[in-house]
Amino acid sequence: MSSQKKFKQRKDIYDYHYLKAPKKELIWFEKSAHFPCFEEAEKFNTLMVDKVLGEIYGK
């Protein structure tokens, strides 16, 4: 069973639809557990620069 299917089965705990935010996006790190910033550092850092800083600075 894929981790995304497991996520859908655990909606009672992880359903981010209840999170109130002006903008949100679920980003899945397939090869990480609790520390994607270390376990998938390149993907994590790219997302931080492109998505987070992009939103802050409008790039």
Output the CA torsion sign for 23, 7, 1, 3: positive
pLDDT per position as a tens digit, 11-47: 555 667 777 788 888 888 999 988 999 999 999 999 9
Residue with the larger pLDDT of the pair 14 and 55: 55
pLDDT at 7 over 60: no
Residue linked to tokens 């790190």: 29
**Is the distance from CB of 14 to CB of 7 less than 8 angstroms?**
yes
pTM of the model: 0.62
